[in-house]
């Protein structure tokens, strides 16, 4: 962060936008994934959805700070 910037001015707006985006997308995406799978594959579909979600969040944690420097 540049000198003279503050958390509320520099970081908080992005955190709020990210949180709102997750709120609007995660539940519908999960419901869509599970609804698209046959009932007998619901457990596998849920596991794949969770694995991809965790992998994507870890990738974001690794990439976003690197792009800031």
Of the candidates 68, 64, 39, 35, which has an alpha carbon nearest to the alpha carbon of residue 49? 35
For residue range 1-46, what is the model confidence (pLDDT) as tens digits?
A: 677 778 888 888 888 998 899 889 888 888 988 899 999 999 999 8
Residue 69's pLDDT band (cuts 50, 70, 90): low
Q: Are 45 and 34 in contact (CB under 8 A)?
A: yes
| Closest C-alpha among 63, 61, 58, 53 to residue 25 | 53
- Region for residue 38 given its phi and psi (left: phi exceeds 0; alpha: psi -120 to 50; beta: otherwise): beta
What is the pLDDT at residue 67? 67
Is the pTM value of this prediction over 0.75?
no
């Amino acid at each position: 962060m540049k000198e003279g910037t503050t958390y509320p001015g520099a970081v908080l707006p992005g955190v709020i936008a990210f949180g709102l985006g997750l709120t609007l997308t995660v539940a519908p995406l999960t419901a869509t994934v599970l609804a698209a799978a046959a009932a007998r594959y619901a457990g596998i579909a849920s596991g794949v959805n969770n694995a991809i979600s965790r992998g994507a969040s870890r990738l974001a944690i690794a990439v976003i700070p690197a792009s800031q420097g």
